[in-house]
Structure 1
Amino acid sequence: MGERIAVIGTGYVGLVSGTCFSEIGHHVVCVDKDADKIQSLSRAELPIYEPDLQQLVQTNLQRGRLSFTSDTALAVSGSDIVFLAVGTPSMEDGQVDVSQVTSAAIQIAMAMEGYTIVVLKSTVPVGTARRVENLIREYNPEALFSVVSNPEFLREGSAVRDTFHMDRIVIGATEQEAADRIARLHEPYGAPVLFTDRESAELIKYASNAFLATKISFINEMANLCEKVGANVELVAAGMGMDKRIGTHFLRPGIGYGGSCFPKDTKAQLKIAEHADYDFKIMRAVIEVNRLQRERFADKVEQALGGDVNGLKLAVMGLTFKPDTDDLRDAPALDIIELLLAKGAQIRAYDPVAAQAAAPLIPRAVCCTDPYEALQDADAMVITTEWDTVKSLDYAEVHQLLRSPVIIDGRNCLQADTIRCLGFHYVSVGRP
């Protein structure tokens, strides 16, 4: 018989984690304070785009192993394990806003019945698990409970696959019994388990994302250098990646990282270091390089078009920060569009899933759901997200639609020789 699980929060992490737990046989109730969202989820209508997720939600709703509610007390009182997967957004100064964690912890404390394991799934600053424990004791001194840190390592666009094929499961706990129970919960995923203290578990998530962001900024710096000296960054990255100590992942140059995790977590890592009176110089540089990469790409577009884009029509292909997601948070494409608009360009932007949601964010641009509509009579095609729909376009037709056959590829997702043979002036990142 499966565990009785409550998941507080139905964003990417909570919805995916809860649904996948139900798929492996547990009884899961997902909680969100937004009643309209809960009603939609109960009909298997998802607020996010994530491959394979809708089918899993629908299947487990029908099986009776997955349900949704806005009643936190009801969900917590009927569960033995409660996952906290609420949002932890960045504040203006880069610190993490844990107010949703605090609010949820108090609600959990008031609703507990019997021994409960409270699991922090949200990405939170070091020491948050201890603070949640203290809050629960304050609001319910008689409660029997354990607080465990169990960070997630999901990638948007492949979150379901990442859940069923985890690299590792990190469990930070002060009581071995609670740690073992959370480990057993994850056994069907077949991933190795690392048991740690809670502070180390909390920091592992930040360290992992910060390091991956560092690899991205490093290869972007190498790409910029390659352009200066005439080298090919893809060959440089391939040579680096052959070293097993380095590996090939996250060595693809482009327009920088975005999304909900890397920008937030790198800034949070910097703040954690500042609070510990440590100047994390590498992290500061990673963030700055990522910001500048967007500006460099806007300048690259301008240079590819003779040094002036004023009055030119540009087709920007892709708005989300990566393909296979509808997430526009800190998407590089949005900043690049604003930079090009400021230079006087006219923008038609295409995205297969996020065009409608992006329209209010870039009101001076025209957003399209048809790539060929965006390309019609444009002076250049600018690639900012490597959607399959962009890579698989009929480029002979693209050549006919464009007013001038210029492609500036910010993701290096096209084969340079093939595109040039079709008569395009093709510019990419770090490639001669």
Structure 2
Amino acid sequence: MQLDHVDRLILERGYRLAFPQSVETTYHAYRSRFRRRLSTAMLGPTLVCYNVFLVVDYVLLPETFRLSVALHFLLVSPIIILSSLCMQSDCDPRTQDVCTALGPLAMIGQIMVIYSYSASEAAQHYHYLAIFVLIYMNLLFRMEYWHAIVASAFALMVYVGTLIVAGAPLPVLVIGMMASAAAAYLSLSGNRQIQRDARHGFLRRMQDKLRIEEAKTEASRDALTGLFNRRRLEAVFAELALGSSSSTIAILMIDVDHFKQFNDQNGHLAGDLCLREIADLLVRLTRRDRDLVVRFGGEEFLVLLRSTSPDDALRIAERIRMEIEGLGMRHADGETAITVSIGAMVDDVRTVSPETLIAAADAALYAAKQAGRNRVWPPPPPDPAGDLSESLEGNEREGVGHPLQNLKPFRNEVADVAIV
């Protein structure tokens, strides 16, 4: 679900009785949790209120009191309990509303059965209890509007049909029909407004949630290149340290050679364009679902490769170096190509701190610059397949490597800074 889609639904009031299918599915998943909690919360009060009305049966219709007690405790109360238990299962909205309506419809049925069996004149007042149950069903159980209409129509058929079959006096029949119809209309109107408010509230919650997520995403991205920044890098390190799967990672520290000179001679706009081009290339050359590309600062980039062996990490670094050199970006002299120097480090993030990993990769980067720039350090091994692109798919070989322990400096002064 996208934020602009939610904003459009709110603006166009596209939430009145139904969402587009993709949103409707999310809404019903959200509502199902609420409905289950509501059903559990309503079970006790419903049973208590319903069975307390046995006092009315005892006072108005004592001749059918035993039958009423039997229907209350042996039929209707078990139906209410079973319908509540049914609501706790993962079922579709229609099934949920069928379970919801069973209890109130059973109550109405019980009331009308007692009315039809009673010969007392007081029974002409007893059947009005069914109208209260109808209102209770439509307003408190939060059924979907169209399902509430069907349940109400069924309840009215039972109510009016029983009055006719039982031979209710004409004034009682007319008042009963008008009162039940008015109760159904008003309670359904309230149900419709409740459903609209619920859908609008859902959209507002989703809007707030998506805005927060969008703000978090923006806070973890670099404004110039669109790459992630150090905030996201720290979060990924934390996830890897807590993960149960392999946490062997490779860190590639990448620095654009002579970038200050390029920026001064070509201008800051050209420098920004250069960084964006390199950022786009790094994203294309890594696995989006597993790896992470970060603008580390200034003209420095960091690439985190998961489940990558030392040899593959160095081959990937060499591939990146070659691709960037092949972009064709030139310094002001028109001849010197933009190049990068890359330092690599591979280790287990659960045994070595992120700071140590980054410091080791940074030391290797410094060694690459001291060795003449436009190179990877440590030097990558020959690619046996002759195709560096295969390294980007990674492999599942386990093992922790320390490429920096095998540094072979080009000059004596390099060794002092390269070993970590």
TM-score bracket for this pair, using the shorter chain length? under 0.3
TM-score, length-scaled by structure 2: 0.26
Higher helix share: 2
Decide which structure has the larger Cα Rg and report it.
2
Answer 1 or 2: higher relative contact order, Cα 8 Å, separation at least 6: 2
TM-score w.r.t. the length of structure 1 is 0.26
